[in-house]
């Protein structure tokens, strides 16, 4: 199984290298380990995260693409769909099948037709449009809903921090 996963990851890396999505760089940490990737995501334009450069890592299971990778930001983040420890919580990264909590449909969750590129583009969309109905960070979700100005100030502080300012 790991051989199939490795071939798939190598093909996805080649495709990302040839035609990278705007504002996203991603690839294996080393050529010896294609199961751990690093990514650099630019904050989406016209959002409070615009201008930020957010490093992240993806760790792929040996049965990829049957199961999704785990993704975490390596910098401070304050967002309704990012746990305080940096782990990303979006539907596309949830195990395939029915949601035991009944919140998501199986079509929103991981499937083998997804790709690293789709994951990263979904994360960019998530930064632009948080889902505050299913928060990973309750404090960020509450602030997003109840005090948008304070949320924006916090996000802009993080953007400056990612730039070393």
Assign domain 4-162 to a CATH class: alpha beta
Asked if residue 102 lies in contact with residue 127, where contact means CB atoms within 8 angstroms, the answer is: no
pLDDT over 80 at 149, yes or no: yes
Model pLDDT, residue 31? 87
Domain layout of the chain by residue ranges: 4-162
Choosing from 89, 90, 123, 140, the catalytic residue is 89
Residue 151 CB: number of other CB atoms within 10 A? 22
75 is catalytic: no
Distance CA(17)–CA(7), nearest Å, equals: 15
Tens-digit pLDDT profile for residues 56-101: 999 999 999 999 999 999 999 999 999 999 999 998 998 887 666 6
pLDDT over 80 at 39, yes or no: yes
Average pLDDT of every residue of the chain? 92
Q: Which long-range contacts (CB under 8 A, 24 or more apart) does 147-155 make?
A: 151/48, 151/78, 152/48, 154/78, 155/48, 155/49, 155/78, 155/79
Tens-digit pLDDT profile for residues 1-29: 678 999 999 999 999 999 999 999 999 99
For tokens 């949601």, name the residue: 99
């Amino acid at each position: 199984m790991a051989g199939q996963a490795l071939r798939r990851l190598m093909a996805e890396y080649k495709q990302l290298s040839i035609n990278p999505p705007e504002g996203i760089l991603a690839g294996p940490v080393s050529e010896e380990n294609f199961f751990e990737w690093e990514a650099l995501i630019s904050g989406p334009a016209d959002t409070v995260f615009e201008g930020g450069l957010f490093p992240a890592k993806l760790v792929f299971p040996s049965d990829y693409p049957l199961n999704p990778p785990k993704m975490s930001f390596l910098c401070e983040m304050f967002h309704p769909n990012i746990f305080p420890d940096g782990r990303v919580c979006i539907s596309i990264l949830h195990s395939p099948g029915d949601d035991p909590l009944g919140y998501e449909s199986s079509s929103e969750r991981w499937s083998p037709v997804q790709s690293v590129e789709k994951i990263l583009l979904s994360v960019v969309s998530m930064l632009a449009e948080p889902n505050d109905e299913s928060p990973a960070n309750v404090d960020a979700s509450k602030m997003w809903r109840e005090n948008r100005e304070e949320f924006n100030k916090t996000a802009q502080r993080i953007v400056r921090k990612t730039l070393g300012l």
